[in-house]
Structure 1
Amino acid sequence: MDFDAVFKALADPTRRRLLDALHSHDGQRLHELCAGTDLTRQAVTKHLAILEAANLVVTTRAGREKLHHLNPAPLNDITNRWLGKYDRQQLNALATLKKALEDNDE
């Protein structure tokens, strides 16, 4: 597992948005991932290539179309490697508290 490639891929907000888009609707085509962004197809393609190199996105072919799928395994590996050392219950409690406080501010 190349943790550096995963962290590099996750460091960019555009790539995180692409991962979020695939999380909400897996198996999207390039034009679907471009929709709603101000990015060119070429820019999205470059971001997807970095995500694929980190194994966060895998592609399949459906006829002539290329579908992009989220691969959560590298994220799970990071969670186990870097967060697994810490008490999950405390982390979950802090995350829940943070979300509640942020929701209150809205």
Structure 2
Amino acid sequence: MTDKDLLAIIDRAVDEFNGDLDELESAIGMLMLGRHYGWRVMLLIHSPTTVRKYTKILNIKSLRDVLPEVGVLAHRSKAWRLVEGTKNFWKVVRGQIGGVRSARVTKTPGD
């Protein structure tokens, strides 16, 4: 997805939004960070309920439709480093494995 396409999604969401601006701001933030981290990291940061709320605000079907699977900065995510290369990703997303969800990122792995 190009930057122009992402801006179109944001502009449409802003134009059509009714509600608290902090929710719109958070949805846009998820989209913009997702450009760099990918949809898998966004699913590890946010609960499924939050992702559904934000995708509804952005009027997109799924993060998979607009974000890379794994972004260039995914390696900075603590949660991603814990599940990368394992079969546990979807178990963590569904909440079947606890203690992994984290919004923590480091400049270099191991920091």
Sort the TM-score into its range (normalised by shorter chain): 0.3 to 0.5
Look at both structures and tell me which one has the larger radius of gyration over its CA atoms.
1
Q: Give the structure with the larger strand fraction.
A: 1
TM-score (norm 2): 0.31
